[in-house]
Amino acid sequence: MKPEQPKTIAVTGGASGIGYAFCEHLAQLGHRIVIADLRGADEAAGKLRAAGARAIGVKCDVVSEDDVGNMARIAEKEFEGIDGLVNNAGLFTTLALKPFDQITSAEWMRVMEVNTLGPFNCAKAVLPALRKSGRGRLVNIASTVPIKGPPNMAHYVASKGAVIAFTRSLARELARDRITVNAIAPGFTLSEGVLQADLQNRIGDNARTTGRCIQRDQVPADLVGALAYLVSDGAGFVTGQTLAVDGGGVFL
Ligand SMILES: NC(=O)c1ccc[n+]([C@@H]2O[C@H](COP(=O)([O-])OP(=O)(O)OC[C@H]3O[C@@H](n4cnc5c(N)ncnc54)[C@H](O)[C@@H]3O)[C@@H](O)[C@H]2O)c1
């Protein structure tokens, strides 16, 4: 079997946390990486280049159509196309945990903006390039929370439910363009943002390991193999799926 040709893959929120782990792993597999992030994109891309990868960073707010359009243009110019998009940027680690009747409508809308409008904007911006690619890959980072329904983060849970629904609808629309659309649903993961916000202690042991077949904390490295598979040519007949990566906490 011939080795796969590398792809150009844009990762939103790729400058830190789970997103950076994704970028590092995809770069190690030989893919060209576009890191799109509100902050730290250039520095993160610099680290990948220092390790021998082809990578660029673009400052980008996924909520802004102008920013994501600019990101797509820069990526296409630099690498002559885009083959994959990973919608990873999301509001989670900085959220205050509170009962739903204490969530303001502004907080609700902000979470929906970043977690659902963001992936929509990015998918639209890269669609012409993915169509041209002929082996386009779109991967949305959801969560297991829409299946488990934890309390005190109703806006976040609803937003990730929307991400899974969006994934299914796009899979049907884009199959004719040979673009697959899938989601990864991570369990609670000790990302940089989680550790900085001390979320692992605020959220309690219940979210961390209870109900998991594999009784240990999840780390970003646990997620990278699932992404590598979904962007691979070998996954070309897999679309519309949500792959839970959480040590066997939920069965979809
Ligand atoms: N950590 C977990 O337990 C967990 C579990 C399930 C799903 N997820 C999802 O995984 C993804 C990454 O989570 P994480 O824990 O690494 O988060 P994080 O907070 O550590 O990192 C998020 C990254 O996204 C960037 N970002 C935030 N808003 C942005 C915007 N508007 N535009 C561009 N970039 C933006 C941040 O700068 C940061 O680099 C999120 O979508 C999150 O909802 C996380």
Q: Per-residue pLDDT for 204 more than 80?
A: no
* Ligand 1 atom closest to residue 145's alpha carbon, by position in its atom list: 6
31 within a domain of the structure (yes/no): yes
Give catalytic status of residue 156 as yes or no.
yes
150 within a domain of the structure (yes/no): yes
Q: So what's the pLDDT on residue 239?
A: 99
Q: So what's the pLDDT on residue 98?
A: 95
Cα–Cα distance for residue pair 72/124, rounded to 1 Å: 10
Q: So what's the pLDDT on residue 58?
A: 98
What's the residue count for the chain?
A: 252
Confidence grade of residue 189 (pLDDT, cut at 50, 70, 90): very high
38 within a domain of the structure (yes/no): yes
* Ligand 1 atom closest to residue 18's alpha carbon, by position in its atom list: 16
Cα(92) to ligand 1 centroid in Å equals: 6
Mean pLDDT for the chain overall: 96
80: left (phi over 0), alpha (psi -120 to 50) or beta: left
Number of domains composing the chain? 1
- Tens of pLDDT, residue by residue over 161-178, are 999 999 999 999 999 999
Please name every residue paired with 183 in a beta bridge, in sequence order, or none if there are none: 140, 242
Q: How is residue 2 annotated by DSSP? A: P
Q: So what's the pLDDT on residue 71?
A: 98
Percent of the chain with pLDDT over 90: 94
210 within a domain of the structure (yes/no): no
Q: So what's the pLDDT on residue 26?
A: 98
Q: So what's the pLDDT on residue 203?
A: 83
Q: So what's the pLDDT on residue 210?
A: 86
Q: So what's the pLDDT on residue 209?
A: 86
26 within a domain of the structure (yes/no): yes
200 within a domain of the structure (yes/no): no
Confidence grade of residue 207 (pLDDT, cut at 50, 70, 90): confident
What SS3 state is found at 6?
Answer: coil
What SS3 state is found at 170?
Answer: helix
| Gyration radius (Cα) of the chain, Å | 17
Q: So what's the pLDDT on residue 230?
A: 98
Q: How is residue 95 annotated by DSSP? A: P
Domain limits for position 83:
8-186+223-240
Cα–Cα distance for residue pair 207/5, rounded to 1 Å: 39
Cα–Cα distance for residue pair 124/25, rounded to 1 Å: 25
- Tens of pLDDT, residue by residue over 118-133, are 999 999 999 999 999 9
Contact partners, residue 114, CB within 8 Å, separation at least 6: 62, 63, 89, 90, 91
Cα–Cα distance for residue pair 26/65, rounded to 1 Å: 26
205/225: higher pLDDT: 225
Please name every residue paired with 11 in a beta bridge, in sequence order, or none if there are none: 35, 86
Q: So what's the pLDDT on residue 1?
A: 65
What SS3 state is found at 122?
Answer: helix
Residues with CB under 6 A from ligand 1: 12-13, 15-19, 37-39, 60-63, 88-90, 92-93, 114, 118, 141, 143, 186, 188-189, 191-194
Query: Which CATH number characterizes residue 89's domain?
Result: 3.40.50.720
Integer angstrom CA distances of residue 87 from 72, 96, 129, 139: 13, 23, 16, 6
User: What is the best residue among 92, 112, 198, 243 to mutate for testing ligand 1's pocket, by most ligand atoms within 8 Å of CB?
Assistant: 92
- Tens of pLDDT, residue by residue over 40-87, are 999 999 999 999 999 999 999 999 999 999 999 999 999 999 999 999
249 within a domain of the structure (yes/no): no
Q: Per-residue pLDDT for 205 more than 70?
A: no
**Both ends of the chain: CA-CA distance in Å?**
32
Out of 156, 193, 239, 244, pick the active-site residue: 156
Tokens of 98: 């509170």
- Tens of pLDDT, residue by residue over 102-121, are 999 999 999 999 999 999 99
58 within a domain of the structure (yes/no): yes
Section 1-20 average pLDDT: 93
Confidence grade of residue 251 (pLDDT, cut at 50, 70, 90): very high
Sign for the CA dihedral angle at 70, 74, 76, 82 comes to: negative
Section 13-31 average pLDDT: 98
Q: How is residue 113 annotated by DSSP? A: I
User: What is the best residue among 12, 34, 38 to mutate for testing ligand 1's pocket, by most ligand atoms within 8 Å of CB?
Assistant: 38
Cα(53) to ligand 1 centroid in Å equals: 23
